[in-house]
A and B are shown apart, each in its own frame.
Chain A
Amino acid sequence: MMSRRHILYSLLILCWTGWGFNVLLGNNLRLGPLSSDGHTLSITVAWDHAWNLATGPGNHDAVWLFAKVMRNGQWEHLQLAPQADAHHVNATGRFAIDPDAQGRGVMLRTMLTGDGDIVETQLQLRLAEPIEAGDFEIAIYGIEMAWVSEGPFWIGDGASNFCMRDSATGQPYFVGSEAAVAADALTSIGVNPPGGSLPPDFPKGYDGFYLMKYEISQQQYADFLGSLTYAQQFARMSMGPDAPQDAHALAMNSPNRNGLLISQPGMAPATPAVIGCNANATYPFFNEDDGQNRACNWINWPDVAAYLDWAALRPITELEFEKACRGPLAPVALEFAWGTDSIVDANTILNDGTAAEGVAETGTSTAGLGSHGYTGAQGPLRCGFGAHASSDRLQAGAGYYGHMELSGNLWEFCVTTKSAGLGFGGQHGDGQLSAAGDANESHWPDAAGVGYKGGGWNSGVIPGFRDLAVSDRFYIGLRSDIRRNTAGGRGAR
């Protein structure tokens, strides 16, 4: 009979063998079978190309995990124990689990230094309270995040439209702390200056924070819609939930590569619609080329706010957006998220609609890869379309800390320094929406306090138009409550 040690070594050898034949490199976050005994949730987690770096950006990635339970026909946020050692990962010393203090989820990250793949690893997450007797459906969701390290940085690049600048020097503004910024210290080139002093609680980007590595995907938004009531769906869709089968859930007019369709119409007031991905317009839904991994367009600020509240995340400010792009480096005039002012347009789609969707073009040593302009895909590409197993920052089209598509693909909503945004204090969502399906975090701004950053798939890059530039604020004042075919979002913690 084999000893336990012998079995362990044999299985480790199998794992190493598996490494050699791993051709499906990608971030490819995977959650394994979910089970629960009523006290804990048990699940496996795996993802590729995790990192925890001591040099370079000096940051790490992580997975934000949160859960829902269906009670009385409605999904509710499931509270997890807020104590770190209440949770268990089957790899002592190799992972850290950082729970939210209010029990709204946990952040899982590796403690090993370097980059590599996380193979299927068993997690046991303890619930804050045991689930009572009954028959329940439980769901767990995982979102890959990348840490934006604490530290000083610059906002404004001295050249982009309406970019921020130091009132005294006219140069980019140095953010050296989270302390309040006086109204006369910070201004902009041209219009849309800050609406007043930035309060101490307004997130300025100096403190570290986690930001979703990717824009919200179409699968991600479909899962969100699938957890809502009929009334909540009504608020979060362009079409009513009772629209006929195959009606677009979000897109109006031309879908522009949004493949979210109604697969089963809902019926007021109690039966929500079933939403699925069907980008190839052939049955069944969720074929391998149905665009599940494409970034989700046709969502407005109220939609993104609702998603972030539901996922216990929060929006970022326009200062935090620039920090995520540029990191601590000195500004480069007209630079994009990858740190140069040049771009290669991602035009020629490969493996359209699949998990391997990419483009034929590639970034160069001076020009990063970005989805933009007037030709090519008339809609968003797959989240992380430019990154591959050996890509650098320009080839991946990534920000300083590894976030993808901060420039291009879809515009992203940021809390602005307009007066309507200055009441934001960085509060996280609580996982629960209003009965009407809206975010109900009292300190989050409405549409008047939110604007657009980063450019989209149809943004031109020509003299005078630099929508994708890190510091560009041309559309910071544009109405954010309209669903656009070019806008999506991402959130932070």
Chain B
Amino acid sequence: MRSVTNPYALVLLTGFLFLTIFAFGQSPYLGGPADGYASQKARIVAISPDWARVYPSPVQRGEHIQLYASGDLSGLVVELFDAQGRLLLRRQWIAWSTDRSMKIGTAELASGCYLLRVYDPERTFSQKVIVWDE
């Protein structure tokens, strides 16, 4: 599946650009030009829908990586490799709550690039994940 713009580049950029500037003001009565409404539209072209998804990436160290998969989850295995190809984690898919997703903690990971692989006997999905730290 492909999007018109790459969301992950935006994530990387705006993640670092993020700043909320909260002053010591205490007023809900401020305002100015424009109003409190906005909208956006985009066309996306779904060529071959991925059956699995990993996000966010980049992920801030200490946050969870979330994996999402469609179809049968019963035989899925998740593996995490570091940039040198060393296997750091292998586990069966464990769904949290009633959702179809799974979480992996990043508190023990150093900043850097990792590879997540999700597979069962009939399908394989891989995605690079960046862990960053302030």
Contacts and interface: CB of A to CB of B under 8 A. Distances in A.
Contacts of B97: 83
A143 B48 CA distance: 33
- Sorted nearest first, the 8 A-B pairs with minimum C-beta distance are A387-B31, A26-B32, A144-B36, A402-B28, A42-B7, A116-B22, A383-B35, A26-B33
B83 interface: no
Contacts of B99: 81, 83, 86
Given A11-B16, A115-B27, A122-B18, A43 B56 contact: no
A388 B31 contact: yes
A53 B30 CA distance: 13
Q: How large is the interface on A (under 10, 10 to 19, 20 to 34, 35 or more residues)?
A: 35 or more
Contacts of A169: none
Contacts of B105: none
Given A4-B132, A35-B5, A92 B63 contact: yes
Interface string A232-264: 000000000000000000000000000000000
Contact of B46 (A26, A33, A118, A133): A133
21 contacts: A8-B134, A35-B3, A39-B55, A44-B10, A57-B28, A63-B36, A83-B99, A86-B101, A92-B60, A110-B22, A112-B20, A124-B55, A136-B43, A138-B42, A140-B40, A142-B39, A144-B37, A220-B37, A383-B37, A386-B31, A396-B31
Nearest to A224: B39
A92 B58 CA distance: 13
Interface residues of B, number: 62
Interface string B92-134: 0000010101000000000100000000000000000000101
A10 to B, nearest CB: 9
Interface stretch (A177-185, A209-217, A273-281, A448-456): A209-217
B107 to A, nearest CB: 13
B50 A37 contact: yes
Contact of A36 (B19, B22, B31, B44): B44
A355 interface: yes
B17 A139 contact: no
Given A39-B50, A57-B28, A120 B68 contact: no
A343 to B, nearest CB: 16
Contacts of B33: 24-26, 28, 293, 354-356
A55 interface: yes
Residue picked from B64, B66, B111, B132, most chain A C-beta under 10 Å:
B66
Interface stretch (A12-20, A188-196, A416-424, A439-447): A12-20
A40 B53 contact: yes
A138 B4 CA distance: 12
Interface of A: 4-5, 7-8, 11-12, 15-16, 19, 24-40, 42-44, 47-51, 53, 55-57, 59, 61, 63, 81, 83, 85-86, 88, 90-92, 94, 110, 112-122, 124, 126, 130-146, 212-214, 217, 219-220, 223, 293, 354-356, 382-384, 386-393, 395-396, 398, 401-402, 404
Contacts of B43: 135-138
Contact of B56 (A124, A142, A386): A124
A358 B41 CA distance: 29
Contacts, number: 287
Given A29-B36, A35-B7, A383-B37, 7 more contacts: A118-B20, A119-B18, A122-B15, A131-B44, A135-B44, A146-B28, A396-B31
Nearest to B99: A83
A383 B34 CA distance: 8
Contacts of B3: 35-37, 42
Given A43-B40, A136-B44, A15 B32 contact: no
A398 B29 CA distance: 7
B42 A137 contact: yes
